[in-house]
C-alpha cells in the first residue's frame, strides 16, 4: 500500500512524516511528495496543514493541478483522505482567517475563530484536551472515549451537516475535533503529537 503525505509547503510536516513512518514500519510505503502522478496513484492521502487557512489554501493552489487531483481522488474515486488541523479545516466551503478564503468544499461549512468569551479562554487553544467521541468511526478503533489529544489552533470548523462530526472537545464550547464523511476523515488535533493514542489513530487510518 502507498500512502502519500502531500508536501505543498504548508509549514512544518516533519512530525507528521516521523509519526506515519513510525507506525508504517516496513508494511506501508509512506511517500512525501508534491508530485501529481504519485499523489494520483497512491492508495491513501494525508493532507497536513499549519499556519493560516488562507496560507494553506494559497499553497495548495500554487501547485498547478493539485486541487483537481485531490478532488478526483476524494470525490470521484472515493479513496481515503485524512486531513490534519488546517488540512481538516480546508474541507470547508469557506474560511475567515486573515481574510475570507474559499476552501475545498468537500464538507459544507465554515471555519471561524473560536469564541474566547471576552478573554475568558486563551487563544490559541494549546495543549491536551479530552475528545468526546460521538460517532462510531473506524479511526477511533481501540481509542477510549475521553482520551487526550494534543491541540493547537485558534479557528474551528463548523460543518452544516452535524452528522459528519465524529468527535468534539470542550473549550469555550463544543468544538468539532474530528469529522468523517464517507472516505473523508479529518482531525483538528494532532495525532502525530498525541503520543500513543495519536499513533493508534494513525494506525487505524493506515488499516482502513
Partner 1 sequence: MLKNRIIPCLDVKNGRVVKGINFVDLMDAGDPVEQAKIYSDGGADEICFLDITASNENRNTIYDVVEKTSKKCFVPLTVGGGVRSIDDIYKLLNCGADKVSINTAAVQNSEVVLESSKKFGSQCIVVAIDAKKNSDKWEIFTHGGRNNTGINAIEFAKKMEDSGAGELLVTSMDRDGTQAGYDIDLMSEISSKVNIPVIASGGVGNLDHLADGIKLGNASAVLAASIFHYGKHSVKEAKEYLDSKGIPVRI
Residues that bind partner 1 (CB under 8 A): 11-12, 14-15, 18-19, 22, 50-52, 55, 116, 119, 122-130, 148, 150-154, 170-171, 192-196, 198-199
Catalytic residue check, 190: yes
Q: Smallest gap, in angstroms, from Cβ of residue 118 to partner 1?
A: 10
Q: Smallest gap, in angstroms, from Cβ of residue 194 to partner 1?
A: 7
Nearer residue to partner 1 within complex by CB, 41 or 61 = 61
State phi, psi for 29 to the nearest 5 degrees.
-90, 120
User: How many CA within 13 A on the CB side of residue 7?
Assistant: 15
Q: Which of 56, 125, 177, 190 is catalytic?
A: 190
Nearer residue to partner 1 within complex by CB, 71 or 112 = 112
Dist CA 81 CA 97 (whole Å): 23
Which strand (E) or helix (H) includes residue 89? helix 86-89
Nearer residue to partner 1 within complex by CB, 22 or 77 = 22
Q: Smallest gap, in angstroms, from Cβ of residue 109 to partner 1?
A: 22
Sequence-ordered strand ranges (E) for 103-172: 109-113, 125-133, 148-153, 155-159, 165-171
Q: Which of 85, 97, 153, 156 is catalytic?
A: 85
Dist CA 204 CA 199 (whole Å): 9
Cell 475570507 sits on residue: 100
Q: Is 36 left (phi over 0), alpha (psi -120 to 50) or beta?
A: alpha
Q: Smallest gap, in angstroms, from Cβ of residue 63 to partner 1?
A: 18
Nearer residue to partner 1 within complex by CB, 12 or 99 = 12
Catalytic amino acids?
85, 190, 192
Amino acid at each position: 500500500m502507498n500512502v502519500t503525505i502531500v508536501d505543498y509547503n504548508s509549514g512544518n510536516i516533519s512530525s507528521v512524516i516521523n509519526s506515519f513512518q513510525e507506525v508504517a514500519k516496513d508494511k506501508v510505503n509512506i511517500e512525501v511528495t508534491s508530485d501529481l502522478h504519485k499523489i494520483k496513484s497512491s492508495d491513501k492521502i494525508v493532507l497536513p496543514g499549519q499556519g493560516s487557512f488562507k496560507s494553506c489554501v494559497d499553497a495548495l493552489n500554487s501547485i498547478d493541478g493539485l486541487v483537481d487531483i485531490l478532488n478526483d481522488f476524494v470525490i470521484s474515486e472515493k479513496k481515503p483522505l485524512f486531513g490534519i488541523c488546517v488540512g481538516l479545516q480546508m474541507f470547508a466551503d469557506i474560511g475567515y482567517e486573515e481574510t475570507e478564503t474559499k476552501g475545498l468544499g468537500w464538507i459544507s461549512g465554515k471555519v471561524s475563530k473560536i469564541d474566547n468569551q471576552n478573554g475568558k479562554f486563551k487563544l490559541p487553544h494549546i495543549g491536551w484536551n479530552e475528545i468526546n467521541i460521538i460517532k462510531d468511526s473506524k479511526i477511533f478503533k481501540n481509542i477510549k472515549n475521553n482520551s487526550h489529544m494534543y491541540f493547537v489552533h485558534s479557528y474551528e470548523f463548523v460543518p452544516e451537516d452535524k452528522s459528519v462530526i465524529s468527535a468534539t472537545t470542550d473549550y469555550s464550547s463544543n468544538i468539532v475535533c474530528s469529522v468523517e464523511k464517507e472516505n473523508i476523515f479529518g482531525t483538528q488535533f494532532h495525532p502525530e503529537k498525541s503520543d500513543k493514542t495519536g499513533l493508534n489513530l494513525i494506525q487505524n487510518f493506515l488499516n482502513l
